[in-house]
Amino acid sequence: MGRRYLITGASAGIGAAFARTLAAQGVTPILVARREDRLKSLAGEIHDAHGIESEIHVCDLSDRKAVDGLIQAIHGPVDGLINNAGYSLAHMFTATTLDAQMDFVETSVNTPTRLAHAVLPGMIERGYGRIINLSSIVAFSAGAAGHTLYPAAKAYMLKFSRSLSAEVRHKGIHVTALCPGSTVSEFTHANGTEKAAGHSPFRPLMPTQAVVDAGLAASDAGREVEIPGLFNKVAVAAMTLLPDALLTPLIRQGAKRFTLGD
């Protein structure tokens, strides 16, 4: 039996690109997302191109009971886990409901943690596993108004990945935090900032496939953290090395066009 990778948020963007790329390598994708029509379309595309039958699971990852059902429904080994599903809430914290914020936490923090905990025993038993957790370059930032919990969630994914790697690396399992910046995807469309954000030559959108290729290469090589693209590497270096007094006002000013306010 070939490798099997569980991919969350597989209906579009980075998740779908991971599925296509892995299928081209002979990996069977286990596709997870809320939009069944998108998943079926992607599965059909993969079958036509590579003769691989994808496994489809429709699941709302903000619903803990639904995630429990997902874990129970997956039969057979999971050799790779790509915790890709995510979004942001562009309004200010008090301009959203608590339920909306907690759904975000469930999707972006709790579910990736629970899925990793579910698949790791089998990976350890087989002596092989790959986990890619989608973080972001904002994990290194001071945070800004709007998207209030997003930097915290991505910082969690970064630290979680590094700690987990320290625990399981010697067991043949590679854990990687993939930290892209602005990427060609449906991200700003989904959070309502597509028109407000616009496009800037000083903040280039990285091609989705380039992010995926970098993530898979880092995973295979066993790198704990992967920051794809020169622009993103420079941005993280600045956020890591420059003093907060200088950097924080710049970050917060630049973030304004990605925020919908109160």
The domain spans of the chain are 4-258
Beta partners for residue 55, in sequence order: 30
Q: What confidence score (pLDDT) does residue 146 get?
A: 73
* Residue 15 phi, psi dihedral angles, 5° rounding: -60, -45
> What is the DSSP-derived secondary structure letter of residue 97?
-
In the numeric block, which tokens belong to residue 157?
């994914």
- For the record, the structure tokens of 239 come out as 């956020």
Give the pLDDT score at 185: 58
Q: What long-range pairs does 163-169 form, CB within 8 A, spacing at least 24?
A: 164/116, 164/131, 165/224, 168/120, 168/123, 168/124, 168/129, 169/222
Q: Which residue stretches of the chain have pLDDT < 70?
A: 1, 145, 185-204, 251, 254-262
Q: What pLDDT does 197 receive?
A: 46
pLDDT of residue 147: 85
List residues with catalytic annotation. 150
pTM for this structure?
0.89
Residue 36 has a pLDDT of 97
Task: Give the domain 4-258 fold.
Answer: Rossmann fold (3.40.50)
